[in-house]
Structure 1
Amino acid sequence: MDFNFFHPIVLEDETVLLRPLEESDFENLLEISLNEPETWEYSLVRANGRENLEKYIQIALKARENRKEFPFIVFDKKSGEYAGSTRFYDINLEFKTLQLGYTWYGKAFRGTGLNKHCKYLLLEYAFETLGMERVEFRADNNNERSIAAMKSIGCKVEGILRNHMPTLGSDARRDSIILSILKKEWVDDVKENLKRKL
Structure 2
Amino acid sequence: MLYIFDPETDYILEDEHVLLRPLEISDFDHLKTFAINEPELWTYSSQNAGSERGMKEVIEKALIAKENGLAYPFIVFDKIKQQYAGVTRLYDIDLSNKCLSIGHTWYGREFQGTGLNKHCKYLLFEFVFEQMGMERVEFRLDARNERSMRAIKGLGCTFEGVLRSNGYRVDGGRRDSAVLSMLKDEWFNGKKELLKDKLI
TM-score interval for Structure 1 and Structure 2 normalised by the shorter chain: over 0.9
Match of 1:175 in 2: 176
Aligned 1:26-65 pairs, distance under 5 A: 26-65=28-67
Match of 1:5 in 2: 7
Displacement, 1:179? 0.3
Distance 1:47 1:167 in 2: 13
Identity among equivalent positions (%) equals 54
SS of the residue 1:73 aligns to: strand
Distance 2:170 2:155 in 1: 28
Maintained 8 Å contact 1:76/1:83 = yes
Distance 1:123 1:32 in 2: 26
SS of the residue 1:123 aligns to: helix
Displacement, 1:2? 4.1
Match of 2:144 in 1: 142
Distance 1:68 1:2 in 2: 15
Q: Which runs of 5 or more residues in structure 1 are unaligned? A: none
Displacement, 1:169? 2.2
1:190 matched to 2:191? The reply is: yes
Distance 2:57 2:165 in 1: 27
Distance 1:70 1:167 in 2: 23
**Number of equivalences:** 197
Displacement, 1:45? 0.8
The superposition leaves residues 84-130 of structure 1 with CA deviations (integer Å, 9 ceiling, x where unpaired) of: 00000010111010000000000000000000000000000000000
Distance 1:175 1:79 in 2: 35
Aligned 1:111-130 pairs, distance under 5 A: 111-130=113-132
Displacement, 1:48? 1.2
State the TM-score, normalized to the length of structure 1.
Answer: 0.98
AA in 2 matched with 1:182? L
Distance 2:189 2:4 in 1: 26
Match of 2:90 in 1: 88
Misfit runs of 4+, over 3 Å = none
Distance 2:41 2:188 in 1: 32
Maintained 8 Å contact 1:2/1:93 = no
Match of 2:20 in 1: 18
SS of the residue 1:188 aligns to: helix
Maintained 8 Å contact 2:102/2:137 = yes
Distance 1:163 1:60 in 2: 24
Q: Which runs of 5 or more residues in structure 2 are unaligned? A: none
Displacement, 1:32? 1.1
The superposition leaves residues 117-165 of structure 1 with CA deviations (integer Å, 9 ceiling, x where unpaired) of: 0000000000000001000000000001111110000010011111221
Distance 1:97 1:161 in 2: 18
Distance 2:47 2:95 in 1: 25
Distance 1:5 1:134 in 2: 19
Match of 1:162 in 2: 164
